[in-house]
Amino acid sequence: MNSLRGKIVFITGASSGIGRATAIAFAEQGARLLLCARRIDRLTELARELAALQSEPDVFTFRLDVRDPVAVNETLANLPEEWRDVEVLVNNAGLSRGLTPLYENDPLDWDEMIDTNIKGLLHVTRHLVPGMIARGSGHVISMGSTAGKETYAGGAVYCASKAAEKAIMEGLRIDLIGKPVRSTSIDPGMVETEFAQVRFRDEDKGRKLYQNITPLQPEDVADAIVYAATRPKHVNIHTILMTTIDQANSTVFNRHS
């Protein structure tokens, strides 16, 4: 098992859902936590919660919108010296907007998904991987989705963004061959988070998505992320594809009566 005690784990989109659960899971491993999100108030609240989990709390939070490449580069370049040696990067920031036919989509929604799910991942990864290579140790873990493997109605652009994540992580793995830096894609199906509320911009409609089904919980995905990160350093988990027992793929679900 690869111990992460005292190592820096950087999680994007850490203010809620999978990112929040992943921060808690790594805190339990004794990792130092570098956390960013757009909602700094939620990060501050999370930092207080993490302080109760660690005998020696070590958390650094900051606001960052990964859609802004200038902000990404400037913010990460100006981190305090003691927070620059990131051992594990978790590219968690991501979202979906809308569930309408492609020809009815709002192009601004396309921009938000592409800029967050693809370009945000690229800019953060591009900034941090050279340091991992130079130090001889590191791991990039990115959030994919079952949506990246099978397109569903109304989800063309979101599915395309997750298919891009798959290709990017496969390409990164090839580019890193011979270097001591690992790369992993975590590909969950339905997870009960604010994802659906964000997608529909409607809290009630978002909640209905999870009715009469047993979805994955953020903690389930966090557990998979920590598993991948804590394997022996010669072991690289390429992909973890995971769903609830009530989901076969992106379109087939067991709805309880």
Per the annotation, the verdict on 227 as an active-site residue is: no
Give residues with Cβ within 8 angstroms of 250, minimum separation 6.
146, 147, 149, 150, 151, 152, 155, 159, 189
Q: Which two tokens stand for residue 215?
A: 């979805």
Q: For residue 95, give the nearest of 24, 166, 201, 170 by alpha carbon.
A: 201
**Cα–Cα separations (whole angstroms), residue 104 to 109, 158, 160, 185:** 11, 14, 17, 31
**Active-site option among 103, 158, 210, 227:** 158
**Cα–Cα separations (whole angstroms), residue 231 to 160, 225, 228:** 30, 11, 6
The C-alpha atoms of residue 39 and residue 21 are separated, in whole angstroms, by: 16
The amino acid that residue 125 corresponds to is T
Rg (CA), the chain: 18
**Cα–Cα separations (whole angstroms), residue 234 to 182, 203, 239:** 9, 44, 16
The residues assigned a catalytic role are: 158
